[in-house]
Amino acid sequence: MNTSIALIESLDQEGRGVAHVDGKTIFIDGALPGEQVTYKTRRRKERFEVADVVDVLQASHLRTQPACKHFGVCGGCAIQHLEFSGQVAAKQRMLEGNLWHIGKTRSERMLSPIYGPAWGYRHKARLRVRYVEKKGGVLVGFNEKSSSFVADMDSCKVLSPHVSNLIEPLKVLVGKLSIRDRLPQIEVAVGELSTVLVLRILEPLQPQDTAPIKAFADQYGVEIWTQSKGPDTVRPFYPEQGPGLSYSLPEFNLTYPFKPTEFTQVNPHINRVMLRRAMQLLQPQAGERIADFFCGLGNFTLPIARSGASVFGMEGSAALVARANESADLNGLAGQVEFQEADLFQMTPALLQSLGHFDKWLIDPPRDGAVELVRSLPDVGDTEAETAHVPQRIVYVSCNPATLARDTGILVHEKGYRLLASGVINMFPHTSHVESIALFEKT
């Protein structure tokens, strides 16, 4: 075996150790910052290599024994071998590094990180399903690391415990169905009153499938839904009328109903803390007009409205706009919020101006960020436009530090904002996924 030695400098956005050897960047799976390791390359490019750890010659004091027996094979988690506080610190450094190297700016203040339970936090997931006769039947779980194969697993420590306990029974159930080799995915959604499993079916279920599905749902207290094509085909199968999915925000006296395939935060504990932090930074006041861009089903919109502010939510999904309006009615806030469907990736200065004046913005975009939205703000020096349409405060919630950093560069260097504060949100413990929040104020 041809191996080389490297000293690990940092982690990349996939949780791999980063080293430099003979002028080339080496990304090493299983290595941690500060460690000296031997590694074996499995992919070689002109400017970088991808490798695996062979031996750890000098271990980090933050290296720990992974709690899950499937770690290293299952691709669901990347950094279980890094102690929990070390994970948070690494994500903070990743955020700071992206802000400087991509956005060419630094935050005036680093916020204390938001973190919560390390295990059993995940209330939404898409489990892959594969019927493999050579492996004894059905596999249910996440993909293997760097592979399209389904990991052979019987539990998952980041899923809600009662969902983790369903993995083995689900294998048995799928094995009984007529379409066991035409069922590639089970989507899981856990609400406060029920748990829904959505079977993605490529062929219709047959009459003989009904009895085992009903028995499973009754035994484990879940609702079974089916999806034959796109999101519009998601339907309850059994029971036809269950309690439904919802989550609550007791601090704001809010309840949100949702369908299993609609976007909600996967970590309800962190969502509540994140919302508290966002409201502290935004400081919404009665009488203000505030925009919530990429508003989804109103996760931030309705807490802002509880302050007495008038809130305008904009979102690209018609289904989520309808759900947001439903939640506003349910919570008695219909008179304080307005929702509109629009593709925010097609935002223009003219369209932004047509929306009128906003005192403040909250932005919560997907991984692609909000580049067209922030570019549509007036440039520094456009006095007339600035006076009429520029929000004085922007809170930006991000799920990708690279696009946050890019958009921060535009806000700071072109639009005349200061980056007052930023910090990480450990929404996905044991993964390399970095959520963060940033506060901007007009100079």
CATH 2.40.50.140 fits 1-63, yes or no: yes
Q: Which residue do the tokens 């203040």 mark?
A: 109
Catalytic residue (choose from 374, 399, 425, 434):
399
In this chain, the answer to whether the domains covering 1-63 and 99-116+267-442 adopt an identical fold is no
Tens-place pLDDT, residues 163-181: 999 999 999 999 999 999 9
Choose the CATH number for 99-116+267-442 among 3.90.1150.10, 3.40.250.10, 3.50.50.60, 3.40.50.150: 3.40.50.150
* Mean pLDDT value across the chain: 95
**Rounded to whole angstroms, how far apart are CA atoms 66 and 163?**
20
Q: How is domain 124-245 classified at the architecture level of CATH?
A: Beta Barrel (2.40)
Range scoring the smallest mean pLDDT among 28-32, 134-138, 396-400 = 134-138
Sign of CA dihedral 267, 269, 271, 273: negative
Residue numbering of the annotated binding site for S-adenosyl-L-methionine? 265, 294, 299, 315, 343, 364
Packing angle, helices 84-101 and 401-413, rounded to 10:
40
Tens-place pLDDT, residues 209-223: 999 999 999 999 999
In this prediction, residue 385 has a pLDDT band, given cuts at 50, 70 and 90, of low
Residue numbering of the annotated binding site for [4Fe-4S] cluster? 68, 74, 77, 156
Per-residue model confidence (pLDDT) at position 211: 97
pTM reported for the whole predicted model: 0.95
Tens-place pLDDT, residues 402-411: 999 999 999 9
**Rounded to whole angstroms, how far apart are CA atoms 63 and 413?**
39
Q: Report DSSP state, residue 133.
A: G
295 is catalytic: no
3-state helix, strand, coil in the chain (%, to 5): 30, 30, 40
Half-sphere exposure for 189 (CA within 13 Å, toward CB): 24
Q: What is the CA radius of gyration of the chain?
A: 24
Contact 74, 141 (CB under 8 A): yes
Domain positions in the chain are 1-63, 99-116+267-442, 124-245
Contact 20, 44 (CB under 8 A): no
Bridge partner residues of 128 (DSSP):
141, 185
Whether 82 has a pLDDT exceeding 80, the answer reads yes
Q: Report DSSP state, residue 92.
A: H
